[in-house]
């Protein structure tokens, strides 16, 4: 059932988060993520939740960690510069296994870059931004409807794997207005919130250094430290195929050429595939819904007959490199400057490599 509603991407994200049980939001104003905070400030108290505008992004992510530990699902939203400040909290939440949703609405960088323009320049910051060895889950919604459902999925994954999950979107996607389906309460699955484990009459010990299963610090023990870290890495790495999702279209006739993209760029990519198909070219379409962990096996099985893959994206060619690591002939279309690659640009680039 549910209902259909016209809404802005930011509102869809906020309503998805509240649907999934988020009851604590902490954030600092930043373009182009400010609307998320404004919708949260309005809607969260009505749902019995708490909105805090913090003194900075460091406070935001750490306050959200406190709220999650104390028993409520919590989230933060920001853009590139704020995401940089939050990286210490990302690592802290990973190491202390605190479920948390972190939204990064990408704008152009580096530094304060291009505040009002979209980009996909944070895909590597989302993956590797915090120090140390770790694995992380990063989802990339492609439209307003997905901003609703992938937000719920991201929160569910964070509870299932007891880890922060990043929803990586773009300025243009959260500012887009589209018709979306909003499910009735309990129509879409939502996992319960998990808090740190206690032991008998002993409270939890949430240790920020490497620790054993009771929370005791093992940072000076090489063997136990390695064990603790491999467990954190393993819980994501060993479940890549369960976590990672891709969308595939026009693959039924086993095309040798694919256009692969994600987020807002994937919309132009799909339009380009349709144009090429109209011209009679066998070209397939692949969209990464999960950026990290990189859906290697799923991609390999779809591309088993392909020899060339074209990757349009709004950075200097980051995800194209990941496809290259799979041993494929990759043609990157890296676009900087703040404009989405157009279907015509992708179409022309593909025409250039067609046999």
Partner 1 sequence: MNPLIQKYLRSEYAQGKRRTIFCPGCGNGIILGYFVRAIDELKHEGRFDDSKLYIVTGIGCSGNIPVPLKYNIVRALHGRALAVATGIKLVRPDAEVVAFVGDGDLLSIGGNHFIHTIRRNAGVKVILVNNMLYGMTGGQVAPTTPMDAITHTTPYGNPEPPIDACRLAMALGATYVARWTVALSRQCIESIKELLLHRGFGLLECLSQCPVYQGRYVIGIDRPSKIMDYHLKITVLGKEPMYGDKITIGKFVDYEKPTYEEIIWSMINRVSKGGES
Q: What is the binding site for partner 1 (CB under 8 A)?
A: 15, 18-19, 24, 26, 43, 45-50, 52, 54-56, 58-60, 62-72, 74, 88-89, 92, 96, 185, 196, 198, 201-209, 214-217
Return the exposure string of 35-47: e unless at least 16 CB atoms fall within 10 Å of the residue's CB, then b.
bbbbbbeebbeee
Strand 290-292 with 137-139, pairing: antiparallel
Q: Is 200 or 280 the residue whose CB approaches partner 1 more closely?
A: 200
Task: Give the gyration radius of the chain's Cα atoms.
Answer: 21
> Closest Cα partner for 116 from 57, 36, 171, 39?
171
Q: Is 112 or 208 the residue whose CB approaches partner 1 more closely?
A: 208
Shortest distance, CB of residue 185 to partner 1, whole angstroms?
A: 7
Shortest distance, CB of residue 4 to partner 1, whole angstroms?
A: 17
Shortest distance, CB of residue 63 to partner 1, whole angstroms?
A: 4
Compute how many other C-beta atoms are within 10 angstroms of the C-beta atom of residue 202: 9
Output the six-digit token pair for 152: 């719920």
Q: Is 222 or 355 the residue whose CB approaches partner 1 more closely?
A: 222
Q: Is 8 or 206 the residue whose CB approaches partner 1 more closely?
A: 206
Output the six-digit token pair for 203: 């409270």
- Maximal CA-CA distance, the chain: 70
Shortest distance, CB of residue 109 to partner 1, whole angstroms?
A: 24
Shortest distance, CB of residue 40 to partner 1, whole angstroms?
A: 13
> Closest Cα partner for 80 from 101, 55, 102, 109?
109
Q: Is 64 or 259 the residue whose CB approaches partner 1 more closely?
A: 64
Distance of alpha carbon 185 from alpha carbon 153, whole angstroms = 15
Contacts for 222 with CB less than 8 Å, ≥ 6 apart: none
Shortest distance, CB of residue 178 to partner 1, whole angstroms?
A: 20
Q: Is 32 or 89 the residue whose CB approaches partner 1 more closely?
A: 89
Shortest distance, CB of residue 165 to partner 1, whole angstroms?
A: 18
Q: Is 185 or 337 the residue whose CB approaches partner 1 more closely?
A: 185
Compute how many other C-beta atoms are within 10 angstroms of the C-beta atom of residue 123: 25
Alpha helices in 283-336 (DSSP H): 296-302, 318-324
């Amino acid at each position: 059932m549910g209902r259909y509603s016209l809404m802005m991407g930011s509102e869809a994200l906020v309503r998805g988060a509240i649907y999934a049980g988020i009851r604590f939001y902490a954030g600092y104003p930043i373009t182009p993520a400010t609307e998320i905070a404004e919708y949260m400030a309005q809607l969260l108290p009505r749902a019995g939740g708490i909105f805090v505008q913090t003194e900075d992004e460091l406070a935001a992510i750490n306050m959200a960690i406190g709220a999650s530990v104390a028993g409520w699902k919590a989230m933060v939203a920001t853009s590139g510069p704020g995401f940089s400040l939050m990286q210490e909290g990302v690592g802290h939440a990973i190491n202390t296994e605190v479920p948390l949703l972190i939204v990064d609405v990408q704008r152009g960088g580096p530094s304060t870059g291009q505040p009002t323009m979209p980009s996909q320049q944070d895909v590597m910051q989302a993956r590797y931004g915090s120090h140390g060895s770790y694995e992380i889950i990063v989802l990339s919604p492609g439209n307003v409807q997905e901003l609703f459902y992938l937000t719920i999925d991201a929160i569910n994954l964070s509870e299932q794997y007891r880890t922060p999950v990043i929803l990586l979107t773009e300025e243009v996607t959260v500012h887009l207005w589209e018709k979306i389906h909003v499910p009735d309460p309990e129509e879409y699955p939502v996992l319960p919130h998990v808090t740190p484990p206690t032991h008998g009459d002993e409270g939890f010990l949430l240790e920020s250094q490497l620790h054993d299963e009771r929370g005791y610090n093992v940072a000076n023990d090489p063997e136990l430290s390695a064990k603790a870290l491999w467990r954190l890495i393993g819980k994501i790495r060993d479940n890549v195929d369960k976590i990672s999702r891709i969308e595939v279209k026009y693959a039924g006739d086993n095309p040798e050429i694919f256009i692969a993209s994600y987020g807002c760029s994937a919309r132009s990519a799909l339009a380009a595939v349709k144009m090429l198909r109209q011209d009679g070219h066998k070209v397939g379409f692949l969209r990464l819904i999960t950026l990290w962990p990189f859906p290697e096996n799923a991609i390999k099985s779809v591309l088993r007959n392909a020899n060339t893959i074209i990757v349009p994206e709004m950075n200097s060619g980051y995800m194209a490199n990941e496809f290259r690591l799979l041993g494929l002939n990759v043609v990157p279309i890296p676009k900087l400057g703040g404009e989405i690659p157009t279907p015509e640009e992708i179409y022309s680039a593909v025409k250039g490599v067609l046999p």
